[in-house]
Amino acid sequence: LYTAPDSCEGRCGEPFSEEDECHCHTECEKHHNCCEDHERHCGPEGFSSSRDSITDQELLELSEQLYGVDHNKARPGDIAINPQHRAGPDETGDKQDLSPQPLYKYVNEELFSKPTYASFIKLLDNYLRATGREEEVTAEELREQERFLEEVMKTELMKKLFAFLRGKNRYGSEQEFVQDLKEMWFGLYSRGDGEQDSSGFEHVFSGEVKKGKVSGFHNWIRFYLLEKQGVVNYFSHNFDGPWDTYPDVLGLQFSWDGFYKEVGSAFIGSSPEFEFGLYSLCFLARPGRACHLSLGGHRLSVQTYPWTKATYGGGRRFIATAYVMSP
């Protein structure tokens, strides 16, 4: 379904990693393992010079900075969760509800009136969850996308992310950045037989059902709202992150109207702009690979994959998925 990227765009001079299917470091020509477009991007005349590559250390530092300016995240008293049963590796596929109580005991819904939350929540009902069914995007839904992007770009977190990416020559203006975010996240592509039935935003934040299984669905707000309605049933968790404040990370099992998610993961208590910004950063810096970050002194990784069967804007890739990895 997904393949790792085979391009040096934005990767020139990055350190060697065995995870990569082709390489863009200075020694790759000697080892005959460069990506095909290495010369075009990284040669003397190339336009992805090594100074514009994003180092592992910069990702660690920037993620800590973004974590520090997530002013809209939940405070410790805003959410109370009840994780109950911790599933072992041999239990996650059992489809057994091992936790009789809901995951969320309490959420301070005043959070949802903050502009980024309110505009995010409006987007969640814009999708048909079954893949293979064409998405019809109304004028109102387009306005809701614009509104969400407007609101997140007002935050210090997204302004800091943009400043970093502009410094790396990824974008020349905020307008260009916002337009690219709109395409990579909201642009439609086909997970089925040619129908424009999916987008990165739908998959990651709203969730889809494909071949009888839950696909994507990595957002705590979406989970809470559907659990409250009685259509999501929490089964167990297989990972609980080391954070004693929010955002935390949970690996979890659940069913959605009877469709099962064997191993899901989600930030708990993060603002919409935090997840949106962090996933965007990792998709731009490490598409198709583990993106190693640090939050509050604790390491974690985000995995993203590009959609490889369709492109926009001169060969750019849509987001296929993005999620926080639970060990």
Positions marked catalytic: 203, 218, 261
Q: Is the peptide bond before 247 cis (omega within 30 degrees of 0)?
A: yes
Q: 259 forms bridges with which residues in the sheet? A: 256
**DSSP calls for 130-188:** BTTSPPP--HHHHHHHHHHHHHHHTSHHHHHHHHHHHHTTS-SSHHHHHHHHHHHHH--
SS3 per residue for 202-265? HHHHHCEEECCEEECCCEHHHHHHHHHHCCEEEEEEEEECCCCCCCEEEEEEEEECCEEEEEEE
Give the pair of three-digit tokens for residue 259.
């469709």
Closest CA to 267 of 225, 213, 326: 326
Residue 306: closest CA among 58, 37, 9, 64: 9
What single letter denotes the amino acid at residue 208? Answer: E
Side chain identity at residue 204, one-letter code: V
Q: Is 194 left (phi over 0), alpha (psi -120 to 50) or beta?
A: left
